[in-house]
Structure 1
């Protein structure tokens, strides 16, 4: 089984630092700014599309009946907004070729 690595904010900032020559602090500020813009857009109900990467989509789920798997008792599940990600075809192609 492969180990699962996680790409962190610090690693993104370090990559920007190495590739663009910005200071580490400027690189981290850039990463934080991008993430804040994305969160702000999603918070205000907008979807976020990054060309060649994918789209973060908001979806409203209505109220429905669910069942407690342990007891079998039916309970109402309240309406909520969920965030989904749909990868672009370019990203899918790059991942499948690895």
Structure 2
């Protein structure tokens, strides 16, 4: 499902204008991104959490030059689904 599909589905389900739904979804994504950029996790009860994961410094290899490189410690955004969300998907997913 793409963002456009999501906008269409919510618009039809709630009877709202597509442009209103699209601005709401974009505002939500902007707020989540802004919170993560400022170091705050976002918790949505019953859905999941947008969290920041910290990656430690590690040594990597450049195979083409046969050299070692140091990959510095860094943070990455991640999504951790709630247990109820995971269980719902496990029970209701339809395999194609």
State which drifts further: 55-64 or 44-53.
55-64
Residue of structure 2 in register with 1:8 after alignment: 2
Q: Note the alpha carbon deviations across 1:27-73, whole angstroms, 9 max, x for none.
A: 11111111111111111111111211111110222322122355653
What is the TM-score of this pair, normalised by structure 2? 0.83
What is the TM-score of this pair, normalised by structure 1? 0.81
State which drifts further: 44-53 or 64-73.
64-73
Q: How many Å separate the matches in 2 of 1:71 and 1:96?
A: 45
Matches within 5 A, 1:79-90: 79-90=73-84
Residues 1:23 and 2:47 are matched in the alignment? no
Q: How many Å separate the matches in 2 of 1:27 and 1:48?
A: 21
Structure 1's consecutive aligned runs of 4 or more residues displaced over 4 angstroms after TM superposition are: 69-72
How far does residue 25 in structure 1 lie from its aligned partner after superposition?
A: 0.9
Residue of structure 2 in register with 1:65 after alignment: 59
